[in-house]
Amino acid sequence: MSRSRSTAVSFLRARLLHDRPVYVHWAVTSRCNLRCRSCTIWERDSADEICGDDVAALADVLAEIGCLQVSLGGGEPALRDDLVEIVSTLLERGIRTRVLTNGVAMVPALARELLDAGLREFSFSLDSLDPKIQEEMDNTPGAYSKRLRNLAALAEMLPERGCLPMLNTVVTPHNFRELPTIVELAGELGFHASLIPIHLPPCADDEHRFYGQAPELRFDEESGAELREIYNEIIALKRRGGPIINSSTFLERSPDYLLEGHAEWPCRAGELFFSISPQGRVAPCHAFEDRWEVDFRDLPDTLGSADYSRELEAKIAECEGCFRPCWAEISLLMLEVRALGEMVRVQASTKLRRRKIDTRSLQRRLEASR
Ligand SMILES: C[S@@+](CC[C@H](N)C(=O)[O-])C[C@H]1O[C@@H](n2cnc3c(N)ncnc32)[C@H](O)[C@@H]1O
Ligand code: SF4
Ligand code: SF4
């Protein structure tokens, strides 16, 4: 059976039986070349990472428990010298693999090696087309032009069929008016836009915080009506077939999350998805990192145990919630027919249709920023 066919069969099986994790986010490093205001991962800056035989052993465990898709994030995955090897190890085991990158170190030579290893799924972060806004978010001078150059090169290198590249945009008060333009750019490059409502920790002394302490990135009530208008525009664009990967349900609930700090969705952390740290520790999601983790080697036994299921249920019931798309969209995909239909259409179009790739407007922006 071809890889894509067997993934589709495994996915349908998982949807019916809910007997396997569908998705894993593996932060392969906490090192980073940016200092984003929205994020605190870079503060950890540790080189304590599993590598070599442990990477192969982790990939074996993920294959054994039936995991269908892994996203490699961080920190910045492009800083790992063995990123190509990690990707090959996962792909060889039939696990769909995506690399998330801020783009600054995703130079054409590395992108070429990843493509040659069989990688077809890239998520490239870009929050703004205004150099001032982007550099303010990056909190690191000089990153804007490097990432735009690498984005243009990547768009031109990706095959016209069979890829699902994404532009990841964190939605904040500084960039929300740009969302339709960012979606348009994603379309020109043959990418899909993925709009991520900014998550900010509730209080400064939250010792497990993962995201940045940046009160200026919180929406106030005054911008509420305009934010909802922009999201209505995005939802209408999606209905007309615009290149937006988020499900309609996710988009409809995003303004509530941004304005009120809460959005309803059926969380299935630790059951349908997991988070893995650079050291190979497995938690139900990012919120449990450093608090409730198991070594990856113990995952197959842990998953099947009654104690685990009981404790998981209690812990999730206590959670204050999040609206991180990788988690929420997986649950929606597995539980909501509309979200599943939308994803099937996107996947089918990437196989059947040639992506049009036009980097001219991106090149113009790059020229203008020099
Ligand atoms: C943590 S980064 C890791 C991968 C890579 N370093 C990058 O920036 O793409 C993964 C994604 O999280 C997003 N992100 C950062 N801070 C966030 C926040 N406070 N809320 C939601 N998403 C955030 C980033 O923009 C990026 O798209
Ligand atoms: S969002 Fe990504 S690029 Fe920015 S500091 Fe966090 S890990 Fe680094
Ligand atoms: S809602 Fe809570 S348990 Fe579920 S993924 Fe978000 S932080 Fe984790």
**Confidence (pTM):** 0.94
Instruction: Provide the 10 A C-beta neighbour count for residue 182.
Output: 21
Taking the CA of residue 315 as reference, the ligand 3 atom at the shortest distance is 3
CATH value of 3-368 in 3.20.20.60, 3.40.190.10, 3.20.20.70, 3.30.70.270: 3.20.20.70
**Which ligand sits nearest to residue 140's alpha carbon?**
2
- Token pair listed for 176: 């929300």
In this structure, of 9-13, 293-297, 315-319, the range with the lowest mean pLDDT score is: 9-13
- Token pair listed for 137: 């978010």
- Token pair listed for 66: 């039936």
Taking the CA of residue 270 as reference, the ligand 3 atom at the shortest distance is 3
Q: What is the pLDDT of residues 244-274, one digit of tens each?
A: 999 999 999 999 999 998 898 989 899 899 9
Contact assessment for residue 313 and residue 292, using Cβ atoms and an 8 Å cutoff: no
Alpha-carbon distance of 85 to 33, in angstroms, equals 21
pLDDT at 294: 92
Find out whether the beta carbon of 278 lies less than 6 Å from any atom of ligand 1: no
Helix axes 179-189, 224-239, angle to 10 degrees: 30
Find out whether the beta carbon of 271 lies less than 6 Å from any atom of ligand 1: no
Taking the CA of residue 212 as reference, the ligand 1 atom at the shortest distance is 19
Find out whether the beta carbon of 38 lies less than 6 Å from any atom of ligand 1: yes
pLDDT at 52: 95
pLDDT band for position 290 (50/70/90)?
confident
Alpha-carbon distance of 249 to 235, in angstroms, equals 9
Ligand 3 pocket test, pick from 322, 332, 334 with the greatest ligand atom count within 8 Å of Cβ, gives: 322
Q: Is the pLDDT of residue 210 over 90?
A: no
Q: Is the pLDDT of residue 239 over 50?
A: yes
